[in-house]
Structure formats: C-alpha cells, structure tokens
Structure 1
Amino acid sequence: MLGNLVKAEFRKTTTTGLWWGLLIPTFVIALGWALGTGAIGDGILEVFSSSEAEELTNAFGLDPSQWQLSLFGMARSINVATIFPMIFGGLAISNEINRRTITTTFLTAPNRVAALTAKMLVYIAWGAFYGIVIVASVSIGIALTSSPSALPDAGGWLAMCAVGLVASILMTMFGVGVGALMGSVVGTTVVLLLYMLIVENLIQLVLSSQGAPWLIGYLPNGSVNGITGSVASSLFLSAAGVVPDEVVQATRFFAGGLGAFEWWISGLIFLAWTALFFAGGWASTQRKDIT
C-alpha cells in the first residue's frame, strides 16, 4: 500500500509545473554563483601569486599555489542554491491544502500516517534530485572559471558533492515541515525567504559583533551552511599546509560556515530543527479537518 501511495505522490508532483519551474532558477543560480565565485577565487590567487605579494606571503609562510579557493565557491554556491528545494518542499502540503487536493490523498490512504510517510519519502527523493542538479551545476561553473591548481582533487570534489546532497535533502524536508505547520502557500514562501535571507543574517551580524559567532552554528541557516562550510574549510586547510591561526579562523567565514562545527554536528543540529518543524507540521496536519 505504501508503494502505491508513493507512486501517487510522484504523479501528483510531476503533473504540475512547480518542480521544473523551481528547477530552472536552481540551475541558473547554482551555475551563476559558481561561475562568479570561481572567477573571484582565481583573481585572488593571481594577486597573491604575483611578484609584488611574494615577499608578504613568504613572511607568513604561505604558499598560494596550494590554495584550493574553489572549495569556498562551491560551498557558497551550494548554500545559496538550496533555497529553492526548501521552497519546493515548503509548498508540498501547503499548496495541497490551499487547492484541497489533499482531501483525495487522505480519503484514499488507509490513514494519515501512511499518507504523510509517503509524502516524506517522495520529498526526500525530490531533495536528492535537486541536490544532484545543484552539485552538477556548481561543479560545471567552478571548473569553467577556476584554474586547475585551485580545484579540489577527486576525493574533495566527491566530499563536497556528498554534503551538498545532504544539505539539499534536509532543506527540502525543513521546507515541508514549515509548509505543513503554516498551511499557507504565500505565508510559507514569505516566512522561509524572509528568515533565511534577511532575519538570520541580521542575527548573525549581531552575534558576530558581540563576540559570540559560535552561536551562529546553532541557528537553522547557520547549521545547514555549516554542513558544506566545515567540509570546504577542512579540505582547504588540509591542502594549504601550515597556515596562521588567523587564516584557520577565517576559512569557515569565507566558506559561509561561520560558527560551524564539524559537518556531521552541524548536520545533526539542522536535522533537529528539521525534525522539530516536521513534527509540528505532521501533528498539525493530523488534526486538521479536511473539507
């Protein structure tokens, strides 16, 4: 029975234009950010590798030829692009409630738990699909604008792709939870975008100015960005050799993971946020009267 519900959910999502309507800007934004950050990273390497900067880099014991700056561009680009699978997930149940198509789902399923479980499995798959598009787009963009020395090796590239997929899946499920909890298409979209793009960035600015950047790693956006940011930082440091402590502290900032912990800790923190909203949305949908 669950298999039939999953098939029905896939048909439901593929018969609307939402999935490809959001997939297009996902690809464009991921590719655009990767192209831009790759070019910026190459420009920085060119400056530090110049003869004018050689005395300064030698004084600090730095070797710019070992700087894989493209890792920071990959992390930043993935973080920005995962906004779209989050929005896609946010419309999962809220759009159905608005259009009343969820009535058929609940009436034909043996119970609401089975129906919501099928939705969860389907949107995990959609999150993975968006993640594949994101990491592929980012990889293409970074490869086109970064010099070979700035690119990670195969292991580093696979590591960034893996955490990119994890981030995309978690962001999708986070959106599903918020959408189910709010039950409003417009409200869900506005709240998710407003918080992720403006509100939390302001909170992060305040925390940084107050000398408490470590608290950022406990926030939703800070923790999900930490999944990719911490991996990018670790890979960069492992290839860069001996670097000053100031550079070590700055790497996570440039990777978009200020205040982040190890990638798996950041992942668990964001998973807790996702579970909190998903459980709230699940409970709200379980109690909701469908007419």
Structure 2
Amino acid sequence: MSGTDMSGTGTSGTGISDTGTSTGVVERAGNGAGPATAPGAVSTADLLRSEMLKLTTTRLWWILLLAVVACSAGFTALIVFGGLNAPRSPLSFGTAGDAVPAYNLAVALAYVFPLAIGVITVTQEYHARTISATLLAEPRRARVYGAKLLVGLATAFVYGASAVLSGALVAAALLSGHGKPTYLTDGTVLGALGGSVLVLTLWGAIGVGVGALVRNQVAAIVGILLVTQFLEPTLRILASSLGNAELGNLLPGGAGDLAGGGTIMTAAAEADGGSQGLGFLVLFLYAVAIGVVGAVRFTRYEVA
C-alpha cells in the first residue's frame, strides 16, 4: 500500500471527482430541497448513497476484498494442512474446541484489511480533496461522519463475512478430506465464526476513527501496519515473557483474538485466560473511544 498505489487506485484516479459524487449531492440538494447549506438539505439516504459511491467507485475496495479472501483462505490452507500432516503439530482436531483455531484465522491474520478499508472511507476525501465539497453539501459534520461510519461498518462486515466464509470452507474441506469431523454444526465453532465476523466489523469502525484522526491516507495506512504487524505483536510477546500473557488481551488485536473464540495467536502468547465476552467488550471500547476522538477531529475540520 504505497503512496503510488493509493493515488493509482484511489479516488482521484477512479473518480470521486469524475463521478461527481460530492458535488452531485450539492446539485440534488439544490434542486429538491432549497439551498445546499440549509439544514436538512441532504437526506440521510442521499448522504449514505453518496458515501457508498465514493468508496465503490474506486478499485481499491475490491482489491482489498480479494486480498482479504485470499489471505484468509491461503493461510487457513497452509496452517490446517500443516496441522493435519506435521508429526509434531501444536494443532489438534479431536474436539470442536480444538478445531476453533482452524476456523478463525481471519481474525488473527487478516483483520488489517477491514481496518484499512475503514481508514480509506474517510481519508480518500482528503486525498482527493473532495472533503470541502462534501461539507458544503452537508455542513452538519456529525451527520457526514455518521454516514462514513455506517458505510465503513457495512463494508467491513462484507469483508469479515467473506474472509470467515472462505477460511471456513477451506478448513472444512481439508478436515473432511483427511477423515476428520468438521464440527460446522457445533455451537462452539458457530460461536467462533459469528464472533469472528463481528470482530472484523468492529475493526472497520476503528479504521473510520483512525482515518478521521490522521486524515493523511498514506500516513494512516503505514501507521496501522506498523501498529498491527510490529508494535502490538512485540508487546504481546513481551507480556508473555514477563509472565503476564493475559495483559495482551487488553490490546486491540489480543481482544479481537479472544472475541473470535481464541486464535493461534492467543495460544502462541499463552493468553487463554479470558472469555469471549471480555474480548468483545475490550474491542468495543476501543472502537467507541477511537470513534469519538475521530468524530471530534472531523467536526473541527475547516473548509478551505
């Protein structure tokens, strides 16, 4: 996700400005409900439609969708196949609980993708310089931010459901092919699958808050990669080495792993002491806190 990738596949290249999404809202408001800056000029439906168009008229959203599916399915195939065939594999599939880490690998390894699409939902407007037109069309910034949050959540849900489904199909096929039960109808596995989708959806909300807070698209993407792929894993390893592995569950990624039913990362960090509900609570609080801070910064943006 380099700077050139962003510009090549971002809003300016595929055309928020070309499709006239932001300015189109201004025109619709002017034609149907008085001046564009008047309260209530832009309906909620138009606002949501506009935000969705800004995202889906770029190539980046479906490139990331393909990437999250490929990542989930690919890593699931690699790890489950290894677990089934390696003589000293730490994975076992004797019970439904043992099989959970085979089904929720998307939570552990692919959550950066819904996080990134949440970031892009906001930062693409600053990147393409269409934010001024959007805020002139609807000067009530809280409504604009709310629309971006809903679109980010919806898109992250699609990412999460696609990633979890692709990983589950691969895991079930491999288990069945090796004569093992798939446990797909077991409540433990179903709870982990449903929890995984919800976790990945919450990562989209966190991404929207981060995007509103940072604003610069490249800086935000680089930042989330550094935090999720280097900083947090280092802190979780450090907590485990100090004999306080459960502290890692209070970090966003650790909480997400726990909320997904416990992943291979949870087992690797020896942080199995928390409940799924605790993981949801911690991750939800992160989403709320980051979302509120992002909303405050977004509403204070000065239109140029």
Q: Same fold (TM over 0.5)?
A: yes
2:51 counterpart residue number:
9
Q: Structure 2 length normalisation: TM-score?
A: 0.78
Distance 1:274 1:260, change over 3 A: farther
Letter in 2 for 1:40: G
| The one of 116, 120, 141 aligned to 1:87 | 116
What are the equivalent positions in structure 2 for 1:118-267 lying under 5 Å apart? 118-146=147-175, 147-154=178-185, 155-230=187-262, 252-253=266-267, 258=271, 261-267=274-280
Structure-2 separation of matches of 1:64 and 1:267? 25
The number of aligned residues is 257
Q: RMSD of the alignment, in Å?
A: 2.4
Contact 1:71 1:151 in 2 (8 A): no
**How far apart are 1:151 and its partner, in Å?**
2.3
| 1:193–1:259 distance in 2 versus 1, CA, 3 Å | farther
Q: Which residue of 2 aligns with 1:287?
A: 300
> Are the aligned partners of 1:78 and 1:164 in contact in 2 as well (CA < 8 Å)?
yes
Q: Secondary structure at the match of 1:275?
A: helix
Matches within 5 A, 1:34-53: 34-43=76-85
Using the size of structure 1 for normalisation, the TM-score is 0.81
Task: Note the C-alpha offset of 1:260.
Answer: 5.7
What SS does structure 1 have at the residue aligned with 2:279? Answer: helix
Residue 96 of structure 1 corresponds to which residue in structure 2? 125
Which protein has greater RCO, CA pairs closer than 8 Å, 6+ apart? 1
Q: Which one-letter code corresponds to 2:283 in the other structure?
A: F
Matched residues, percent identical? 24
Encode CA deviations 1:145-201: one digit per residue, 9 max, x unaligned: 223535223134432221111111111111111111011111111110111111111
Counterpart-to-counterpart distance in 2, 1:260 and 1:267? 14
1:29, 1:81 within 8 Å by CA — same for their partners in 2?
A: yes
The worse-fitting range, judged by mean Cα deviation, of 65-74 and 158-167 is 65-74
Amino acid at match of 1:107: L
Rounded to whole Å, the distance in 2 between the matches of 1:257 and 1:95 is 39
Show structure 2 runs of 5+ residues with no match.
Answer: 1-42
In structure 1, the gaps of 5 or more residues are 49-62, 234-250
Cα pair 2:111 2:203 within 8 Å, conserved: yes
